[in-house]
Structure 1
Amino acid sequence: MEWLVVIVSMIVLWVASLCKILQASCSPSKAMFLNNGDSVHKRNVLLVVSHPDDESMFFTPTINYLISRGHNIHILCISTGNADGMGNIRKEELYQASAILKVPLQQVKILDHPDLQDGFGKVWDCNLLAKIIEKEISTHVIDVIITFDNYGVSGHCNHQDVNRGVSKLLHDTLQRNIEAWELVSTNILRKYSGPVDIWFSFVYAMYYSSGQMHCLLNKHPQKSYAAMAQHMSQWVWFRKLFVSFSSYTYVNTLRKIN
């Protein structure tokens, strides 16, 4: 009988959390993300990821938020994800997913640099990354960068490398006109708690100074599933479960890189 109570309680909590997401605004903080005072003005945002499908598995709440508020988003994918020899296929899948997420295809750039190839144990040079990102900033007049934090959600070395590349750029060039934000990695229990993690994210964000952290709720979580489904080469059963149960489908917590 006790196990039944636990199951029912978890279902109720899951449903209540999902309802909160669907009804709430996309940022619980008083100073909404990328607001300038009391009004929102269009920003040029560069999302830096490591592989095709990163944008769908981890950053959909952020992308949906930016698009819904009229911001101009560019995606820079550092590799084709060619570890299994499917780089060309995965490139096309990213374009298809971007169409689902309403990111213009001409604003999606996928690199295939010989020194920046996908794979565990393949360390990417942060100096090279910094130069590439700096060029994108200049080309598209970028004023906001979003990327992984220093753990990279899953601990993948390539995710961690893009964080180091962005940090290197900010440190060396002292680009004070650029805002940089990182996606906060969570522990495994929160990571697979689905929409329930919004409550932990809200509490966690309360400990930071105003404007230094934002929780972005995904009011259309079905888009995460639809976008990830475009990555057919990666759309195996455990990734279907991941998208369904991952907290990153429902909420992104972004922390400012100072």
Structure 2
Amino acid sequence: MLTANTILIALIPLLYAILYLPTATENVLNLPSLKKENVLLLTAHPDDECMFFAPTVISLLPFVQIHVLSLSTGNADGLGDIRKAELMESLEVLGVKEGNRHIVDHLALQDNITASWDANIISDILGGYVLDLDITTILTFDRTGVSGHPNHRSLPEGVKHFIETTALQPPPKFFALISVPTSTKYVGILAPLLAKFDLYSTKLLHGILGTPGRTDTMPVFVAGVKEYLTAHRAMRAHKSQLVWFRWLYVLFSRYMWVNEWNLVRLG
């Protein structure tokens, strides 16, 4: 007779196997045909790249050229120079090439938890990088900014302004990281399990019934154990930011494991 302990012991290797490997939807961001694509990840502060975007960065690196642009040095506490160095170390851990790491220190774009940034200024700065780097896709926060930080929330407005005013034809594609409700934001290791179950069941239904699903519309990247540990190591590069609540964040945040993206269509 099977006992609860026996069932639990039997499930442990199964759960580990599910967790171990990364997975992603077959989407417009990770097709092998995109080898020549230049993707720009636009962030507000050093540490955004690993706290929110690591599953995507790690997953896309084999397919595309990824540039990371932080629009501030995170100088709210006077640690701007330290945080710049920490960002470079974090990006090294994630695997982003040295020449693809960019940071801006603009008087109007300072780290400030109470102030929004001007979309026109963001657009002007972004435009220079898009042209110089031949960027074809821009990734950044959505209007909620995951954490609600006004600097985060300003970025999609700046991207929107750039795309609506640029003379580039076609303009870069624009993807926004979906902000999930608080109830599902801090579920820890359940996040990749639930996300993979969702992806696998959707693929199964699509194969059996031919029904459209998230694999057709929404880019999703789910880290495996190795990728999660890489993101964790990248976060540890930000030594000046490792206060107690950030340790809780890296343990429980969905964004250390799962990124879901929305293609923003303008015009």
TM-score scaled by length of structure 2: 0.83
Identify unmatched segments of 5+ residues in structure 1: none
Residue identity in the other structure for 1:77: S
Q: In the TM superposition, what are the counterparts of 1:175-254 in structure 2 within 5 Å?
A: 175=168, 176-198=170-192, 201=195, 203=198, 211-219=216-224, 220-254=227-261
Superposition deviation, residue 183 in structure 1:
0.7
Check if 1:33 corresponds to 2:29.
yes
Residue identity in the other structure for 1:33: L
SS of residue matched to 1:155: coil
Q: 1:13 to 1:185 in 2, by over 3 A?
A: farther
Residue identity in the other structure for 1:159: H
State the distance in 2 between where 1:148 and 1:174 align.
24
Matching residue within 18, 21, 26 for 1:20? 18
Identify unmatched segments of 5+ residues in structure 2: 203-211
Partner of 1:102: 95
Q: 1:129 to 1:138 in 2, by over 3 A?
A: same
Task: State the Cα deviation string for residues 36-82 of structure 1 (Å, max 9, x = none).
Answer: 6xx44231110000000000101000110111x23111111000111
Q: In the TM superposition, what are the counterparts of 1:1-258 in structure 2 within 5 Å?
A: 19-24=17-22, 26-27=23-24, 29-31=25-27, 33-35=29-31, 39-67=33-61, 69-173=62-166, 175=168, 176-198=170-192, 201=195, 203=198, 211-219=216-224, 220-258=227-265
Q: Which moved more, 1:209-218 or 1:220-229?
A: 209-218
SS of residue matched to 2:127: helix
User: Is this contact kept in 2: 1:126–1:162, CA < 8 A?
Assistant: yes
Superposition deviation, residue 172 in structure 1:
2.1
Superposition deviation, residue 14 in structure 1:
9.6
User: Is this contact kept in 2: 1:52–1:93, CA < 8 A?
Assistant: yes
Q: Which moved more, 1:149-158 or 1:168-177?
A: 168-177
Residue identity in the other structure for 1:61: P
Superposition deviation, residue 185 in structure 1:
0.5
Q: 1:137 to 1:40 in 2, by over 3 A?
A: closer
State the distance in 2 between where 1:82 and 1:49 align.
14
Task: State the Cα deviation string for residues 102-128 of structure 1 (Å, max 9, x = none).
Answer: 112221111110011111222211011
Superposition deviation, residue 32 in structure 1:
5.8
Superposition deviation, residue 182 in structure 1:
0.9
State the distance in 2 between where 1:147 and 1:168 align.
14
User: Is this contact kept in 2: 1:14–1:196, CA < 8 A?
Assistant: no
User: Is this contact kept in 2: 1:21–1:217, CA < 8 A?
Assistant: no
Identity of aligned residues (%): 34
Q: 1:111 to 1:30 in 2, by over 3 A?
A: closer
User: Is this contact kept in 1: 2:27–2:218, CA < 8 A?
Assistant: no
Provide the aligned length of Structure 1 versus Structure 2.
246
